[in-house]
Chains A and B, each alone.
Chain A
Amino acid sequence: MEESGDATRWRFVACGVSAACIVVVARIAAPTTDLAFALAAVSAVVCAIAAWRLLNQVHTDRQRSVGSDEPYQQRDRERAESGRSAGAEPENGRYYELLVDGVRDYAILMLDNDGHVTSWNAGAERIKGYQRDEIIGQHFSCFYPEEERRSGRPERELEIAQTKGRFEEEGWRVRRDGSRFWANVIVSAMRDEAGTLRGFSKITRDISERKSAADQIGRLNADLKLQVAQLAAANRELEQKNRENEMFVYSVSHDLRSPLVNLQGFSNELTLVCQDLREILVENPLPSDVQTRALALIDDDMGESTQFMQSAVMRLSNIIDALLRLSRVGRVDYRRQELDVQGIVCRVVESLATTITEKNARVMVRDLPPAVGDATAIEQVFANLLSNSLKYLDPERPGVIEVGYVPEAVVGGEPLDTGAFYVRDNGLGIAEDYQSKIFQPFQRVHTGVAPGEGMGLAIIRRILERHGVQIWVESAPGEGAAFFFALPTSAASATEYRRTEQMSATDERSQENGCRTTSHCVGGR
């Protein structure tokens, strides 16, 4: 310990004075005996030593306070002085305390360097359930679940806050009653100007609701993903099954053809044999009753039999052909290409020119935007729809068939986000009960009106299905039918189409001659 010479001297003086005083007092109190004097002298020495030590202690304390506590005393002095001059600081501090104390949505608390709670606000009480009195001084690890407490997590978090200045996390915390809540926690280290750690501030928010909502969303999302995956798998499976069915139908129909060829060929042979037999009977002399009976057998019995056989064979053959056509739709490879729909429809209309004229029908082709799909398949769709329309026209009125495109299609009152091509006629129409059935194989609405296997619409639906495109019908019996399908147009072509559509709205002529290159398109009459 360093000590100035002055101070030492003063201590010696003080001790000497006190010792002298004691000797003087002793002399006055017991002037007669040497023993009393000796006792007084010993007391004086003891007092002097005690005084020395006392003074020494005081000095040491002063030295210490000068070395380390000086800045605080300084700061306190400055505060006191500035407070006196401004008169506001102590009030602000109080307001600040009130503010923190009154916050109810956040637990705001302070910890000392070791993690013991030193302050506690209303939010902390509300969220964690401890009263201020019972928690102050407790270690903050009591807010953690048992397993995390054991793994030393609370201490680790303080370490991180201490080294990095701040620690934030979301995790489980425990209330006083043992219940858990999902918390957002921020721990910040508090340091003085010299950088010495002075404890931690800790802000905790109960975000259980947000967490459970997020979990719920996560679960729903996961469920949704699972369902989507399951649907996709089911779809693939169905698609696979469908292909297998089509393969099966194909091979069965194909195998049926072979015996059918024999039935057809040999029933034909029988007819020819009957003709030969008839000639022999007629040309050779036979008893007339024998000849009559024989001719009756040949003409009536055998003739009728072979006729029924042949028509049955023909019918069977048509069914098999239709099945083969349907199954082939699923087997052919489609090429996705830009389609000149206008051109396709015009070709179809041209190929049907004879029928159109025969039926005395008029076919109008509106402006059609280019689309994307397989050219052959889409041509088949238009061809089937158009020949259906021609087949089922109402003989009572002139047939009018229209091929067009609506930019904003509506299915059953629900707007589709794409446009749709349509083929509309003013023919017999389809009763509502049948409208869902007509796309199934072998379903015929107007039997007796026209021949057919009831396979056309099934084939169309399958073709469009393979394009990922829906087909639907709008119809009223006696008024006609309109078939729509939402074949995608290419983005560029759709824009182009809107432009031409606006133009044609002002130019009525363009509506009547959708096929400008040929006059076939507007047939009949």
Chain B
Amino acid sequence: MVAEPLVIVLAEDDEGHASLVQRNLKRAGIANHIVHVQDGRQALDYVRRQGEFSARPPAGFLLLVLDINMPRVDGVEVLRQVKDDEKTAKIPVIMLTTTDDPREVERCYELGCSVYITKPVEYDAFVEAVRRLGLLLQVVEVPSENR
């Protein structure tokens, strides 16, 4: 769907949730490569190409889908660090979580998340968000990892 490949990085410690997200994206015809990592630490390592991901080749555009409650580093912290670093600040982030506490939602938007979606997921809305953000990446001048 995009000229440069868009990789969806899904940080989710619940295997079931991760499976449901992947099934629904596929069913909606989004065939992009989905990288599933278990927690925030791994998500940051993937984005920064460090740690276990230090050897991975450049992947094109990244889209982060983050759960909030995860061991080691939680989703909000990943969001903060990604948005703090100007090299990664423009990566779109979708928060996908069971927490619908208005303060938590507000905090995530303040930190710069693109979309906040509450579980149980309205997959139509989620798929729509993924599509929109993917298109946005094409339109807006976002540096690809390949350039």
Which of the 9-residue segments A182-190, A201-209, A261-269, A411-419 touches chain B?
Answer: A261-269
The 0/1 profile, CB within 8 Å of A marked 1, for residues 107-139 of chain B is 000000000000111000000000000000000
Whether B98 lies near A266 (C-beta < 8 A) is no
Contact with A along B19-30 (1 / 0, CB 8 A): 010010001000
**Contact in complex: A254, B99 (CB < 8 Å):** yes
Q: A residues within 8 A CB of B23?
A: 269
Tell me whether B14 is interfacial, beta carbon within 8 Å: yes
* B16 sits at the interface (CB 8 A): yes
Report B-chain residues with C-beta under 8 Å of the C-beta of A257: 98, 119-120
> Interface SS of chain B: helix, strand, loop or mixed?
loop
Known: A265-B20, A269-B23. A317 touches B98 (CB 8 A): no
| Chain A interface extent, by class | 10 to 19
Contact A261 B100 (CB under 8 A): no
Residue of B with least CB distance to A256: B98
- Taken together as a complex, chains A and B put the C-alpha atoms of A324 and B104 apart, in Å, by 14
Residue of B nearest to A264 (CB): B120
Cβ of A506 within 8 Å of any chain B Cβ, yes or no, is no
Q: A317 vs B16: C-alpha distance in the bound complex, in angstroms?
A: 17
Contact between chains at A261 and B120 (CB < 8 Å): yes
Chain A residue, CB-CB nearest to B27: A272
**8 Å CB contact of B14 from A258, A269, A317:** A258
A272 contact set on B, CB distance < 8 A: 27
Q: In the complex, are the beta carbons of A261 and B119 less than 8 A apart?
A: yes
Whether A260 touches B120, Cβ cut-off 8 Å, given contacts A265-B16, A265-B20, A266-B16, is: yes
Check if B20 sits within 8 Å of A269, measured CB to CB.
Answer: yes
User: With a CB–CB cut-off of 8 A, which chain A residues contact B120?
Assistant: 257, 260-261, 264-265, 317
Contacts of B20 in A (CB 8 A): 261-262, 265-266, 269
- Chain A nearest CB, measured from B117 CB (Å): 12
The A interface is mostly helix, strand or loop, or mixed, namely helix
Q: Check: B17 CB closer than 8 A to any chain A CB.
A: yes
Q: Is the CB of B17 within 8 A of A254?
A: no
**A261 & B121 in contact (Cβ 8 Å cutoff):** yes
Which A residues are CB-close (under 8 A) to B27? 272
Q: Is B141 engaged at the interface, CB distance under 8 Å to the other chain?
A: no
Chain B CB within 10 Å — which of A254, A258, A260, A332 has the most?
Answer: A258
For residue B103, which residue of chain A has the nearest CB? Answer: A332
- Asked whether B101 is an interface residue with its Cβ less than 8 Å from the other chain, the reply is yes
Is B16 a contact of A262 with CB atoms below 8 Å? yes
Contacts of B99 in A (CB 8 A): 254
In chain A, residues 102-159, which have Cβ atoms closer than 8 Å to a Cβ of chain B? none
Q: Which residues of A contact B16 (CB under 8 A)?
A: 261-262, 265-266
Lowest 6 CB-CB distances: which A-B pairs, in order? A262-B16, A265-B20, A257-B98, A261-B119, A264-B120, A261-B120
Report which A residues bind B (CB closer than 8 A): 254, 257-258, 260-262, 264-266, 269, 272, 317, 324, 328, 332
- Given A261-B14, A261-B119, A265-B20, 9 further pairs, Cβ under 8 A: A258-B17, A260-B120, A261-B16, A261-B20, A262-B14, A262-B17, A264-B120, A317-B120, A324-B100
Can you list 27 contacts pairing A with B, beta carbon distance less than 8 Å?
A254-B99, A257-B119, A257-B120, A258-B14, A258-B17, A258-B69, A258-B119, A260-B120, A261-B14, A261-B16, A261-B17, A261-B20, A261-B98, A261-B120, A262-B17, A262-B20, A265-B16, A265-B121, A266-B16, A266-B20, A269-B20, A269-B23, A272-B27, A317-B120, A324-B100, A328-B101, A332-B103
